Amino acid sequence: CHSPPKPPASPSEKCASLNVTKITENGKKLRKNWTSSWTVLQGTHLLFTKGQGGSTSWFSQSKPEITVDLRGGSAEWASKDKSSKKHVIEVKTRQGTELLIQSENDTLINDWYRVLQDVISTHAWE
């Protein structure tokens, strides 16, 4: 994560510009609103800020728009009926929020899929 003034990133920190939309909040269905979002995985939490043009956006300058706790949640490849886009991950939280995360870059999204699975399985019983 390219932000020199910040303290050193923890090993579990990861960031990328990804396309994101919430589809459910507290169990209630929402209208999709895909936005490019600077996405940070910080420990067991995923933080999203409004994208300001891909990887040049500076996370520490803007407050997260969405924060989700991955503990007790799930991350799976979204089925075709969830989106017509390619490479879509469906993230569900224990609190009943569902998000779709997408990137045209399949290497990048595969990497995120693997890391999300890893975080969720590591912290499954917390």
Query: In this complex, which beta carbon is closest to ligand I3S, that of residue 59 or of residue 112?
Result: 112
Q: Where on the chain is the footprint of ligand I3S (CB under 6 A)?
A: 31-32, 34, 83-85
Least Cβ distance, residue 37 to ligand I3S (angstroms) = 15
- Closest to ligand I3S by CB, 28 vs 31, is 31
Task: State the minimum distance, in angstroms, from the CB of residue 21 to ligand I3S.
Answer: 7
The 3-state secondary structure of the chain, one letter per residue: CCCCCCCCCCCCCEEEEEEEEEEEECCEECCCCCEEEEEEEECCEEEEEECCCHHHCCHHHCCCCEEEECCCCEEEECCCCCCCCCCEEEEECCCCCEEEEECCCHHHHHHHHHHHHHHHHHCCCC
Minimum distance, C-beta of residue 31 to ligand I3S, in the bound complex (Å): 6
